[in-house]
Structure 1
Amino acid sequence: MRERGTGAAVVVLLCALVAAGCGGDRAAPAQPGTPAETPTEVPATGDGPGSAAPVADPDHAVEMPGPLKDRLYRPDMLIFDQDPLSDSMVEQIKELREVAAVEVIGLGNVAIENQALTVAAVDGGTFRRFTPAGSAQTQGVWDRVAGGELAIDPKLGKKLEDRDGNLALGSGDDAPVLHIGAYAEQPEQIDMVVNTAWVEDIGRMAFGNGLLISTDADDPSTIRKDVQRIVGDTASVQDLDIASRLGLDPTGVQTALLTGGSIADVVGTFSYGVLGGGRIAPDPAWVRANITTETVPILGNVTCHRAIFPQLKAALQDVVSRGLADEIHPGEYAGCYYPRFIAGTTTLSNHSFGLALDLNVPGNQRGTVGEMDRGVVQIFKKWGFAWGGDWGYTDPMHFEMAQLVDPR
């Protein structure tokens, strides 16, 4: 079991990054600039004389949560299902003797720079009880979320945001773009949070398909079988104590529900088990319905998601037609469908969905400018692919399907 910490380090981090006075008196700026770079003294609660709460996106704003009144709860278990849990399921879980508190949330995954990251849609006023102390007690975090902005794990936010402090939740042109309002640590297995007004616009997310459970002093493993029985075999039930040590709980079925843009629609719900060596075992039914092998120009036979082939064939044929075929080296092709985590992590790669391919590997390593011909790059972009060479931490061998393009 994890010990409760004071959260002092997190408090210091958030005071600096959200530009909040300790105790949550000040919040970070909305626009322009990033949360860390342009601190502004904006009243966090909006309840002072003549003050107003910061609302960056009125179209996606919800009621401000007000100050924290409840105690904090340790997040011990996370349920993630493709469909919302019924009220009856939630009530049955709440009635288990060991359960101290639950929080209903929406969960989905967004593909960003070859990572399937988890976004939660939450009621900030109650969800904050399950976050680390520094996050929970910094009022500016939850005011920013209520105002339509994103709160994200600090390391991810700094790595992925653009120069204006924005982040696209997905890789296509149709992916929703949010401003990062706060760097704030979240419960295990959750990378970022938005308010509930974003659920419909993010796409394929369903509020209520996730549930956080606290068992307080009790070991969450004692209720695992009961919880799994209540929610059904297809739901992912994760012990967050195990996940904190291993990156995820490998003992049960895992769920990835890709959201954010048109590409999410072709993937569907992706369930998988965890194997050794960073590999995963996707649901065989999903593999049969989605993964296939076809012959494409230049590369020959490749195994990918069926949805990628019209655009991949069109892009490669375009490369041939423009006399650039020699710029792609078939012997240096490193695959498309490869069900695995990103090396050294428990984050799914886009290769797990069969929607990415690596070309000319030796001369295009991560973190380098690479040697990829820019004419080839432009052709792939024309046919709906994103290129890893454009990322903050470059991956110039990597192309991934970012949007649907009709090749006719």
Structure 2
Amino acid sequence: MDTILVANAGSSSVKFQVFGIGQDGSLKRQIKGQMDGVGSRPRLRATGADGAVLIDRSYENEAIHDVAAGISITGAWLREELKIEPIAIGHRVVHGGPDFDRPVRVDQNVLARLEKYTSLAPLHQPYNLAPIRSILARFPNLPQIACFDTAFHRGHGALADRYAIPEALYAEGVRRYGFHGLSYEYIASILPDVAPDIASRRVIVAHLGSGASMSALDNGRSIESSMGFTALDGLPMGTRPGQIDPGVVLYLISEKGMAPADVQNFLYRECGLKGLSGISNDMRELLTSDSPRAALAVDYFVYRASLFAGMLAAALQGVDALVFTAGVGENSAPVRAAIAAKLGWLGVSIDAEANEKHVRLISRPESRVAVYVLPTDEELMIARHTWSLLSKRSEKHARVS
């Protein structure tokens, strides 16, 4: 069976999944794993479709000094021990900039263009691109498909897409992109099956995790997002502040004497829940802490999420459903309950017992807004895009031949 490898690389880890391609073109998840601890205590773990452990192996730090080396070791394990030779690799790439509004096969030219957006997503872009660069050098004929977190939002209208800045800056790409697009696209793709009564209506999706954002969907299309030019905007996140007055950045530079690189590091790594609480960037730790600052961080997150829900409801001119997804959205009943309580004015009313059980539909029958908890699957979305692009290229080649 042909397979597709999906890779999501970070600064010290790479998550991966292997999908088998059926005769009818369907995709079936075969392997799920990750190489983590890169640079400290590298460890490769993976399970099969049935949950059975396939590998749990540690390595010397010197053997895996960066993520590119980690994916090389992972690839060797797949090829040599499991005899898996993927026909393509799909990669999550956070920022596609103004040039890329759909998945694309990566060559040296595309890679160079994507590297230009590193400063717009410094926590993600360089690490997303590192394994692509390494594999391109070693296996130049193996198709690698970049799937962008910005692409799903590229259909936004001009009013949602722009900042109030001169046209020249917009023309060179300074605009509101939105992120977590692969997650939103997946949710939009499953709504016709899991909630057909709301799939074509006005839906707010809350992707709440260490990175957090919200998006307004109308008939399955993104029309507005809480995030903008970079993944700093919108909701407070684990270590990122979310919406902030640009004057604060000017203050840090002019009054605190911080260099641009220091400001970038501060905004991406020292703010958000971590900065507010002084304890942790992990919502689970904050919810169990008795620290007043931890409570402040949680309350702030809930408050800002409710504000953005109101903004997105205005963009949609009403709301028919609210969907919680991603790590916090799928697993934190207290956070969902607190956000829902603040949205009572919109007609949101949830069933406490259903919420605690994390069932799919958690709203009360009388709630004017249906509230769902739906697990996201960005990796499957990447696999779908990768297979679709390969299929189209094969069909085009066949027609030309």
Q: TM-score, normalised by structure 1?
A: 0.30
Q: Which has the higher contact order (CA 8 A, sep 6+)?
A: 1
* Structure with more helix by fraction: 2
Q: TM-score, normalised by structure 2?
A: 0.30
* Structure with more strand by fraction: 1
